[in-house]
Structure 1
Amino acid sequence: MKLKFFIVFLGLLVQTSFAQTANWYEDAHQAVAASNKANKPLLIFFTGSDWCGWCKRLQKEVFNTQEFKTWADKNVVLLELDFPRKNNQPKNIQIQNQQIQAAFSIQGYPTVWIVTPEVNDGKTNFVPLGRTGYEAGGVSKWLLTANSILKNK
């Protein structure tokens, strides 16, 4: 019995340690360049990673799943704009995040915008496709909303 339990536990441990998470940019310039190069919309995740309970739930239930990673790799480029209270960030990232937050008039967290970035004369404009946040129901329900937003493309 102990051996069976150990084998099951070991299998779960190995599966968890090899789980892939999605690749998130934190630098908007790099994300916009990748978005334009791949000809994919940009998914912008406004979060308070070290204090926002709903943000943590969205990460756990959606963004940290293989289903989301597979969907994201196919459909979008990911940009995480974090507004931590305890964790330190480089000053340039803080300024960037505050500027983009103001441009989108973000009032609460988590907020997720899917946009098409357009660069003209060195300035980036974000053409909004749609917005969402945390939704109860897990990754499948969240992806239904995201896919309906992408249809606006």
Structure 2
Amino acid sequence: MKKIILTVALFLVSVITITAQNWQTDFTLAKDISSKEHKPIILVFQGSDWCGPCIKLDHEIWSTDAFKNYADKNYVMLQADFPKRKKNALPEAQTKANAKLAEAYNKNGIFPFVVVLNAKGEVLGETSYKKTTPENYIKEINAFTK
């Protein structure tokens, strides 16, 4: 019985790992990956536990198979989260790193805010939540990189 439970647990972890979006949280690492793989960076400012449009953007775009599959091959995904609930608090170093990103790229404090960057950290385009399909969102983001 323990072997069956362990096997099922391992299977579920592998499925979750395969279908999870590959989010970076370190800007320097994201730029390095972007440079090596020749992919633009999608920097997402979100309030994962309080911002309604942020949660919708995650469910309707970022978490879809269509977007995840495309993003894995074409983008470096960078997340700057600003949770409010104590139980979701980020480590202090990550909170400071996210604040530094916000100072540079989100001075107006818009949530959600999506910034498309090149490997040098230069802004190619900006957008936010839109009620659309993953495919149309991809088209919009791709237009920034042309």
TM-score (norm 1): 0.78
Residue 79 of structure 1: SS of its match in structure 2? Answer: strand
Q: Is 1:143 paired with 2:138?
A: yes
Distance between the aligned counterparts of 1:101 and 1:127, measured in 2? 14
The equivalences for 1:7-86 within 5 A come to: 20-86=19-85
Cα displacement string for residues 61-103 of structure 1 (whole angstroms, at most 9, x for unaligned residues):
0000111012111211010000010111111111111011011
> Contact 1:31/1:42 (CA < 8 Å) preserved in 2?
yes
Distance between the aligned counterparts of 2:123 and 2:81, measured in 1? 20
In the TM superposition, residue 116 of structure 1 has moved relative to its aligned partner by 0.9
Distance between the aligned counterparts of 2:127 and 2:39, measured in 1? 18
Residue 117 of structure 1: SS of its match in structure 2? Answer: coil
Indicate how the Cα distance of structure 1 residues 34 and 106 shifts in structure 2: closer, same or farther if over 3 A, else same.
farther
> Contact 2:61/2:134 (CA < 8 Å) preserved in 1?
yes
The equivalences for 1:120-131 within 5 A come to: 126-131=121-126
Q: Is 1:115 paired with 2:117?
A: yes
Residue 100 of structure 1 is matched in structure 2 by 101
Cα displacement string for residues 29-61 of structure 1 (whole angstroms, at most 9, x for unaligned residues):
221221112121111000000100000000000
- Tell which structure's C-alpha radius of gyration is larger: 1
Q: Is 1:134 paired with 2:129?
A: yes
Pairwise CA RMSD of aligned residues? 1.6
Q: Which has the higher contact order (CA 8 A, sep 6+)?
A: 2
Unaligned runs of 5+ in 1: 1-13, 119-125
Query: If each structure's helix is expressed as a fraction of its own residues, which one has the higher value?
Result: 2
Cα displacement string for residues 103-124 of structure 1 (whole angstroms, at most 9, x for unaligned residues):
1124210000010132xxxxxx
Indicate how the Cα distance of structure 1 residues 59 and 28 shifts in structure 2: closer, same or farther if over 3 A, else same.
same
State the aligned residue count: 129
> Contact 1:25/1:78 (CA < 8 Å) preserved in 2?
yes
Residue 5 of structure 2 is matched in structure 1 by none
142-151 or 107-116: bigger deviation: 142-151
Partner letter of residue 91 of structure 1?
E
